[in-house]
Amino acid sequence: MSKKLGKLALASTAAIALVATGCSKDNKEGAGETVTITHYTIDSPDRTFVEKLVPEFEKAHPNIKVKITKAPYEQFDSKLQSSIAAKNAPDVTSHWGYGGFMEYYNKGMLMDLTPYLGDFKASDYNIPEDVMNIYKVDGKTYGIPLNSYVTVMLYNKDMFDKAGLPYPPTDYEDKSWTFDKMVEYARKMTVDSKNLAEAQYGVDFGFGERDQRPQYFGANVYSDDTWTNGGKPSKVNLNEPAVIDAYKKIYGLIWDEKVSPTPAFSKSVSGQFGDPFLSGKIGMSVVGSWSLAAASDFSFNVGVAAVPQGPNPNVRSVLYVDPLFVLKDSKHPKEALEWIKFLIATEIQEKSIELSGGNPPVNQAAAEKYYSNFEGIAPEQLKQVFEGAYKYGFESYNHLISNYSQINELFINELASVENGDKKVEEVLPGIQEKLTKLLERVNKE
Amino acid sequence: MSDLSLATGEPPKRRRRKADMAQIIGFLILLAVTAAMIMPLWFMLSTSLKSTKEMLAYPPSFIPNRFEWGNFKELFANSELKFGQQYWNSLIVAGLTVVGTVLSSSFVAFGFARYRARLSPFLFMLLLSTLMLPYPAIMIPQFLLFTKLGLHDSLLPLILPNFFASAYMVFLLKQFFSSLPNEVYDAGRIDGCRELRLFWNLTLPLSGPVLATVAIFSFIWSWNDLLAPVLYLDSQENFTLPIGMAAMLSSKFRIAPWNLMMAASLLSVLPIVALFAVAQRRFVQGIVLTGIK
């Protein structure tokens, strides 16, 4: 190769590198002129639909530009943490990854919105006061609710018809619909077979995360002060008989009653992150109401019902109120708040239902539209289920407990052996008790 | 003659038969191992051509009942996925990474291999010690640097660092360059070559195998990298394949579209297979010569 050719190769490489990749942005913003705010979300259609709302917002707010950035669910937290560390944090986001509100709050990631709220009133946006209060700490507002999901029971009408069973009720006050009755129905629908083509199961009991599940049975994994001291449990109760019995009931559905699918079955019919209910091989599924969004994709008739009455008379549903936060490093909190207000306005919340495929609006004026959004599900029934769920609901632990992603990971890893049938609940819980106590001592000291 | 061959031919024939048996058994073992190796690839191909219904069916079929070529079309036609754009981005990043790594690392390695300075062993150790730094340790400072340079959300932060040599590749190349005979360089000097020409016209042409190895390694690492692209890239039009495929699995769809993902995986291994096919002879030679496995 001649010297000229070598130089040419080097020069053209550098040129190609610059041209092909391009310098990304030109974000020079004059003082008082257009500002750009960033809205960071997970790369899923029920979140990225906000891109379609941006033009309307920008038209109404010519001095604010909104940039939507996204990451896959699994990488959501790591990207957020790195960008905060690098002082390049987005302006608006939510706890869409593994971490929750209290984790963000205790890490000092969130901006106190109170000074910017001015004449903002939750009632103007038809947000119930108690829902608004979820993201207040010491009277200061750190998050504005956007969507409110509840736990519902979805059931496969075709499987019920085939088993000759009556559909479960939608009324939470119907006290004849109990956990035991659910198990009885589940038994009638279950075909516990090694042959995946034949196998089907009566119920998949996905009530909250693993550490919240005992709450349904009247047992509490964490001491009561957790809910008043900023999500830092002073005591873990995994060695108490009530908690042990609750876990025995939960995992007994898989291994004693054999009416619930094993993790292996769920993975084979729906993949690693999938919901086995979608395969049409599960009779009833206690699940977050986001699963309704896929109702039109179901290859069977689906119904919605109340979560049955369990041993705890007060808690039958886990509430997942998703807020929007403004991060502490935001340079444009006022503009970010304008964007948030835009997203919770009645008209936009109504529009979002359709664009997202069925996100439940926090704005109760838009809720009526939400109830009539699902083909094959009667609006009045869905409304009844949601109202009952709100009445008997408890906010999801992942929003309330500090350092939740680490805690949740511990539960997932340690309980895997019980879920897979390798160990008994009694063998595993003492280990989790010890590890969790140490973990909490460490993280809550920091 | 024939009698003689008959008389003496018996034992060799038996030996040959024995040898034949050993060969057959060896062949059968190889066949079984090959089948085991090919099985996942076969399933990838087979699943990529299945319909959603067949993809979920149990027991899974080896050969799809109907070939759904539409899966491949869907990847490119679905505007939500932006697969074609992501493929192109990955090609740009990996291609330029190869160019950058090969050029810069070989340049640095040449210096270490051919010149003696008082501090060069120390500098080389210093360079090698950077191998012990995991990426997360330099992630945030590097991120800050590129953000300050205004290069955030562009492909440049994924490419530029490769134009400043990789310690591992420098080590690999230095080992090879050191083994080149001094006589070649002496001859070059007698013919009037200056140092740069010794590098460009003598060293590089003689180092095909190791350069192929470096090219393949750096291409594969860049092609598969997920963490750095997730960190730097915000807009979907800038995403690389690993981000797009991670989203397909974890959040983009409610039912993980294994058929689409297998079609995407199949297409995503093509450049690596093509590169390997082109550079195979030299690559194997490079592994032998550098002792790297």
Check CB contact of A10 with chain B, cutoff 8 Å: yes
* Residue A197 confidence class, pLDDT cut points 50, 70, 90: confident
Cβ–Cβ of B154/A87 closer than 8 Å? no
CB contact set of A321 (below 8 Å; sequence gap of 6+): A131, A134, A135, A145, A147, A148, A149, A362, A395, A399
Q: How far is A11 from chain B (nearest CA, A)?
A: 12
- A189: tokens are 């629908």
pLDDT at A131: 87
Q: With 70 as the cut, is the pLDDT of residue A21 above it? A: no
% of chain B at pLDDT higher than 70: 88
Our measurement of the distance from residue B184's CA atom to the centroid of its chain's CA atoms, rounded to an integer in Å, reads 31
Q: Looking at residue A219, what is its pLDDT? A: 94
Instruction: Considering only residues A29 and B53, tell me which one the structure prediction assigns the higher pLDDT.
Output: B53
How far apart CA A169 and CA A307 sit, in angstroms, is 9
Confidence of residue A119 (pLDDT cuts 50, 70, 90): confident
Tell me what the mean pLDDT of segment A62-86 comes to.
90
Give Cα A199 distance to the centre of its chain. 29
Partner-chain contact B143 A293, CB within 8 Å: no
| Min Cα separation B272/chain A (Å) | 21
Q: Do A268 and B58 touch (CB under 8 A)?
A: yes
Which residues have C-beta within 8 Å of that of residue A195, sequence separation ≥ 6? Answer: B58
- Tell whether A8 is within 8 A of chain B (Cβ): no
Q: How confident is the model at residue A292 (pLDDT cuts 50, 70, 90)?
A: confident
At A258, list the tokens.
């054999």
Nearest to B166 by CA among B109, B120, B116: B109
Average pLDDT in the A158-181 region? 95
List B residues 100-129 in contact with A (Cβ-Cβ < 8 A). Answer: 100, 103
Q: What angle do CA A318, A320, A325 make, to 5 degrees?
A: 155
Q: How far apart are CA B246 and CA B253, in angstroms?
A: 11
CATH topology of domain A3-147+323-380: D-Maltodextrin-Binding Protein; domain 2 (3.40.190)
Residues recorded for chain B: 293
Nearest to B58 among A22, A25, A196 (CB): A196
Chain A residues within 8 A of B246 when measuring between CB atoms: 72, 74-75
Tokens matching residue B158: 């994924």
Q: What integer pLDDT is reported at residue B136 of this predicted model?
A: 84
In this complex, is the C-beta atom of A275 within 8 Å of any C-beta atom belonging to chain B? yes
Residue B100 to residue A13, Cβ atoms within 8 A: yes
pLDDT the model gives residue A170: 95
- pLDDT per position as a tens digit, A359-379: 899 999 999 899 988 888 899
Q: How crowded is the C-beta side of B268, counted as CA atoms within 13 Å?
A: 27
Q: Which band of pLDDT confidence, cut at 50, 70 and 90, is reported for residue A418? A: very high
Tokens 């699943």 — which residue?
Answer: B47
| Predicted pLDDT at B286 | 59
- Region A439-445 average pLDDT: 86
Please give the average per-residue pLDDT across B209-216, as a whole number.
90
Q: Do B255 and A274 touch (CB under 8 A)?
A: yes
**pTM here?**
0.79
- Cβ-Cβ contacts under 8 Å, A71 against chain B: 230, 243
- Label residues B148-171 b or e (16+ Cβ within 10 Å = b): eeebbbbbbbbbbbbbebbbbbbb
Average pLDDT over residues B65-83: 87
What was the pLDDT predicted at B66?
Answer: 87
B80–A274 C-beta distance less than 8 A: no
How confident is the model over A237-259, as a mean pLDDT? 94
pLDDT in the model for residue A6: 53
Instruction: Test B156 with A21 for CB contact under 8 angstroms.
Output: yes
User: CB contacts < 8 Å between A and B, how many?
Assistant: 142
Q: Which helix (H) or strand (E) holds B80?
A: none
Instruction: Give the percent of chain B with pLDDT over 90.
Output: 44
Question: What is the Cα–Cα distance from B143 to A79, expressed in whole angstroms?
Answer: 11
Residue range A123-148: mean pLDDT, rounded: 91
A-chain residue closest to B142, CA distance: A86
Q: Does B156 touch chain A (CB under 8 A)?
A: yes
- Residue to test with chain B: of A7, A12, A43, A292, most B Cβ within 10 A: A43
Per CB-CB distance under 8 Å, the chain A contacts of B47 are none
**Cβ-nearest to B249 among A22, A269, A273:** A273
Is the CB of A275 less than 8 angstroms away from the CB of B254? yes
**What is the structure's pLDDT at B31?**
95
**Nearest beta carbon to residue A75 from set B144, B197, B230:** B230
Residue A23: pLDDT band with limits 50, 70, 90: very low
pLDDT band of A9, cuts 50, 70, 90: low
Tracing tokens 């393949």 back to the chain, one arrives at B216
Contact A273 B252 (CB under 8 A): no
pLDDT for residue B123: 92
Q: Mean pLDDT over residues A108-115, rounded?
A: 93
State how far the Cα of A72 lies from the Cα of A40, in Å rounded to an integer: 11
Lowest pLDDT segment from A17-26, B37-46, B139-148, B226-235: A17-26
A44 close to B (CB below 8 A): yes
**A291-314: average pLDDT:** 87
Q: Report residue A284's pLDDT band, with 50, 70 and 90 as the boundaries.
A: very high
Look at chain A and count its residues.
446
- For chain B, the average pLDDT equals 86
Torsion angles phi and psi, residue A146, rounded to 5: -120, -50
Mutate to test the interface with B, among A41, A82, A200, A266 (most CBs of B within 10 A): A82
The shortest C-alpha distance from B199 to chain A (Å) reads 11
Asked if the model's pLDDT at residue A20 lies above 80, the reply is no
Instruction: Work out the average pLDDT over A402-430.
Output: 92
* Interface contact flag, A269 B56, Cβ < 8 Å: yes
Residues linked to residue A156 through DSSP beta bridges, in sequence order: A302
- Predicted local confidence at residue B139, as pLDDT: 87
What pLDDT score does A256 carry?
Answer: 93
Mean pLDDT, residues A301-316 taken together: 94
Q: Please name the residue of chain B whose CA is at the shortest distance from the CA of residue A70.
A: B234
Q: How confident is the model at residue A173 (pLDDT cuts 50, 70, 90)?
A: very high
- Record: contact A268-B226, CB cut-off 8 A: no
Measured at the CA of B189, the angle between CA B183 and CA B192, to 5 degrees, comes to: 150
What is the tens place of the pLDDT at every residue in B104-129? 999 999 999 988 888 889 999 999 99
Chain B residues close to A75, C-beta within 8 Å: 226, 230, 243, 246
- The predicted pLDDT at position A296 comes to 72
> What residues of chain B lie within 8 A of the CB of A18, using their CB?
156
DSSP assignment, residue A423? S
List of chain B residues whose C-beta atoms are within 8 Å of the C-beta of residue A82: 139-140, 143, 231
CB A432 within 8 A of CB A410: yes
Q: In angstroms, what separates the C-alpha of A90 from chain B's closest C-alpha?
A: 11
Which of B158, B251, B259 should one mutate to test binding to chain A, selecting the residue with the greatest count of A CBs within 10 A? B251
Please check the confidence at residue A24 and state whether its pLDDT lies above 60.
Answer: no
pLDDT digits (tens, 9 = 90+) for A212-237: 999 999 999 999 999 888 889 999 99
Which pLDDT band, with edges at 50, 70 and 90, does B252 fall under? low
CA distances from B290 to A63, B87, B120, B202, B278 (A): 60, 32, 21, 19, 19
pLDDT band of residue A17 (cuts 50, 70, 90) is: very low
Q: Is the pLDDT of residue A35 over 80?
A: yes
**Amino acid code (one letter) for B166:** S
Instruction: Look at strands A201-205 and A144-149 and give their pairing.
Output: unpaired
Contact A222, A235 (CB under 8 A): yes
Domains of chain B: 3-71 (no CATH), 74-289 (1.10.3720.10)
Whether residue A276 is predicted with pLDDT greater than 90 in this model: the reply is: no
Task: With beta carbons less than 8 A apart as the criterion, state whether A101 and A227 touch.
Answer: no
Parts of chain A belonging to CATH 3.40.190.10: 3-147+323-380, 151-318+399-443
DSSP state of A308: P
Q: Hey, how many other C-beta atoms are within 10 angstroms of the C-beta on B34? A: 10
Is the Cβ of B201 closer than 8 Å to some Cβ of chain A?
yes
Q: How far is A47 from chain B (nearest CA, A)?
A: 10
Determine whether the interchain pair A74/B250 forms a contact, defined as Cβ–Cβ distance below 8 Å. Answer: yes
Question: Which CATH number, 3.75.10.10, 3.40.190.10, 3.90.110.10, 1.20.1250.20, labels domain A151-318+399-443?
Answer: 3.40.190.10
Instruction: Please report the residues numbered 42 through 101 in chain B whose beta carbons come closer than 8 angstroms to any beta carbon of chain A.
Output: 56-59, 80, 92-93, 96, 99-100
**Which residues does A131 contact at the CB level (< 8 Å), separation at least 6?**
A122, A145, A148, A321, A362
Distances (CA, A) of A258 to A180, A199, A275, A421, B191: 14, 11, 18, 11, 84
pLDDT at A88: 85
3-class SS of residue A78: helix
pLDDT at A26: 41
Query: Does the CB of A67 have a partner CB in chain B at under 8 Å?
Result: yes
Is there a contact between B252 and A44 if contact means CB atoms under 8 Å apart? Answer: yes
Contact A43 B196 (CB under 8 A): no
